[in-house]
Amino acid sequence: MRSLKWIASAACSKVADRRACRVFFPVAVSKQAARKRADALREALREHNHRYYVLDDPSVSDAEYDRLFRELQSIESDYPDLLTDDSPTQRVGARPATQFSSVDHASPMLSLGNCFDDQELQDFDRRVRETLGISSDIAYIGEPKYDGAAVNLSYDGGVLVRGATRGDGRTGEDITSNIRTIRNLPLRLRGRGHPARLEVRGEVVMPRDEFAQLNARLEAAGQKAFVNPRNAAAGSLRQLDPAITADRPLYFYAHGVGVYEGNKPASDYDTMQQLKAWGLPIGSHLTRLDGLDACRDYRASLLQARPGMQVEIDGCVFKVDDEAARQELGFVSRAPRWATAYKFPAEEATTTLLAVEFQVGRTGALTPVARLEPVFVGGATVSNATLHNMDEIARKDVRIGDTVTVRRAGDVIPEVLGPVLSERPDDAQVIQAPRQCPDCGSAVERPEGEAVIRCTGGLVCQAQLREALKHFVSRQALDIDGLGARQIEQFVAEGLLASPVDIFRLNTHRAALLERDGYGEKSVDNLLGAIEASKQTTLARFIYALGIREVGSTTANDLAAHFGELEALQSAARAYADKLAEPAPEDETAAARERRLGESELRQMPNVGPTVAEHIAGFFAEPRNREVVSALLAQGIEWPAPRAASGAQPLKGKTLVLTGSLPDWTRDQAKQRIEAAGGRVTGSVSKKTDYVVAGSDAGSKLEKAERLGVSVIDQSGLQALLEG
């Protein structure tokens, strides 16, 4: 009664006319009825949703569901103030965003250690038992490792308030509006006893069949299809318009919790059952397992079930079930010691090798590419696969017409493993190495000791030119938006581009650009604007863009940080070329020559060995390359001057300790980089240590750091420090 009076008087206070107030009373009464009805409808729709999407056991027809849904919509539109955020009608409520804001996860989203065979799983189990001092079987839970997009959902008082991507594990993107559109996910938890705050972690996935249907729809609409269900899930979650996400067949599966402000069960299995009771979808394969043997059996049965599963999985995850044991086990770097992912082998399939083509790369290398009868493997349809080089072809004895085994794992390029000899047809053809470049017809060469065949056409070869230009504009190089592979191929074919310098002369061909199909004033302006903007770059990007053989972005960064100026790099390259040309003492041994060359400044860099140094020296020794470099600079490409010596030393005065192995750097390389940034590397952890850089298999130093409260970072954390 009280609330009714309040509604009525609040409404009356806004309305001066008493008659309006009199009219209002009957409305308020029916509004109370409307509220009751809306609540009942919401309850019913939530229940139907749960039965349909989570239990897969609907109890009403679609038509009946739609009728209830429309009735609720109509009440909510008559009484907008009755609308609640967690109403089933509000899955697609939000308007398109212009960008996603970033959110810090309340507790970090960790990664998982891996094992690839039974021995490694046994080692994992042994480490767990040793740390816990338990000799009997450990209770684990086993789950599929879902191949999707990791997300973090926050429920406050049982209501979904936020959904975020994993991001780097600490900070992700706020994708709440998109998350809300996922039908099998409750906007409000069922039942009672919800924690005040709950963070649910899980994976958003797209089932195989629905993925195929989505791709068919996209292609029919002239849009680009997704490579695999994981990319489709991740891409759908990152749509700025939630209406698009709502149209995508996405499902969520919970696999853990972050924050849990309430009475958390002592076992993770029980926690997961609790989530399930609250209406959160839990994968049907979640199982409690006693000891190592049960884990092995679980993996074997999951591996068998895998081909028939709609949701793609790339392994299974084993986690210690007991919460207290988890606390005791703790973490290494950013992965828990209480869990491991046992990866499945990469998927393989057989198909027919139809032909072999040789693709010309940026540096003229010819790579044999197998054209295959399309086959679905590892979550994608594969019609091309690499054969690596002629040595590999000979070693595997693959022939055209053969039935071949193809492997594809994750995002890596699919490869041909070998022929199925029992199925070799009589007319299978041996693959011949080309004598001429398939693109420019120049002779090919195969330097002694190398497996790679190269086109000798250099700048004459349009294929090399195209690849060099694609590299020049790529994201880590000058990053020119709107100048993609397709445009470059067209512009090269039409003679608009014959060198990277021509990119900066495209503005003199405005009229020619405007004549092209699909180019209006606006797109030409955008393209020319992006080209102009790319002139403000960094030395590292510029060095990388030059496409010097074996100089990837890491080496380019190192060179830029060390030399600061292009001239300094060029003169070091000259000095190295001079050293290479120096007449060597007649009796010089290989080791002595190595010592002599190793003293050069260029060779002092981490990652620059004899081959890379030779490529750098060779690049700058070539007059045509020097001309291109000066012409580019004359076009106004520039970068900020190097920071003053003190500024370039972001680790000055800091002491770091390295432990474990880093993913990309050797210990020496990490040490050199830290020292180049002014830091000191010591062997043991103390209270004076500023950072411990931990890689995989970090040992007692990491434990000590945790005990002393010293900051622990991983390779990317170190990279961030080095970049200041």
Give residues in contact with ligand IVH (CB under 6 A): 110-112, 143, 145-146, 150, 166, 203, 255-256, 317, 336, 339, 341
Does residue 145 have an active-site annotation?
Answer: yes
DSSP string, 268-336: HHHHHHHHHHTT--B-TT-EEEEHHHHHHHHHHHHHHHGGG-SS-EEEEEEEE-BHHHHHHH-EETTEE
To ligand IVH, the closest distance from the beta carbon of 113 in angstroms equals 9
Beta carbons within 8 Å of 568's beta carbon, 6+ residues apart:
none
Give me the phi and psi of 95, to 5 degrees please: -85, 160
Nearer to ligand IVH, 201 or 541 (CB): 201
d(CA 441, CA 420): 34
To ligand IVH, the closest distance from the beta carbon of 410 in angstroms equals 12
Return the amino acid letter for 95.
R
Nearer to ligand IVH, 201 or 408 (CB): 201
Give me the phi and psi of 497, to 5 degrees please: -125, 120
Pairing mode of beta strands 691-694, 655-659 = parallel
To ligand IVH, the closest distance from the beta carbon of 320 in angstroms equals 11
Nearer to ligand IVH, 229 or 336 (CB): 336
CB-based contact 268:287 (threshold 8 Å): no
Nearer to ligand IVH, 296 or 549 (CB): 296
Pairing mode of beta strands 680-682, 655-659 = parallel
Return the amino acid letter for 356.
V
Neighbouring CB atoms inside 10 A of 566's CB total: 18
From the candidates 145, 319, 343, 579, give the one annotated as an active-site residue: 145
Nearer to ligand IVH, 286 or 382 (CB): 286
d(CA 379, CA 317): 20
Nearer to ligand IVH, 24 or 318 (CB): 318
To ligand IVH, the closest distance from the beta carbon of 106 in angstroms equals 15
Return the amino acid letter for 664.
D
d(CA 234, CA 265): 32
To ligand IVH, the closest distance from the beta carbon of 109 in angstroms equals 7
In order of 12, 16, 33, 565, the CA distances from 23 in angstroms are 10, 13, 16, 80
Nearer to ligand IVH, 330 or 529 (CB): 330
Q: What angle, rounded to 10 degrees, do the helices at 623-634 and 610-621 form?
A: 70
CB-based contact 646:652 (threshold 8 Å): yes
To ligand IVH, the closest distance from the beta carbon of 333 in angstroms equals 12
Q: Which residue is nearest to ligand IVH (CB)?
A: 150
Beta carbons within 8 Å of 196's beta carbon, 6+ residues apart:
156, 157, 261, 262
Beta carbons within 8 Å of 396's beta carbon, 6+ residues apart:
387, 416, 417, 418, 419
To ligand IVH, the closest distance from the beta carbon of 407 in angstroms equals 21
Nearer to ligand IVH, 255 or 388 (CB): 255
Query: Partners of 128 in the beta sheet?
Result: none
Nearer to ligand IVH, 317 or 693 (CB): 317
Distance separating the N- and C-terminal Cα atoms of the chain: 63
Nearer to ligand IVH, 167 or 458 (CB): 167
Beta carbons within 8 Å of 592's beta carbon, 6+ residues apart:
585
d(CA 226, CA 165): 19
Beta carbons within 8 Å of 121's beta carbon, 6+ residues apart:
115, 292, 295, 296, 299, 318, 340, 342
SS3 category, 625: helix
Question: Which of 418, 396, 391, 395 has its CA nearest to residue 407?
Answer: 418
- Residues with a catalytic annotation lie at 145
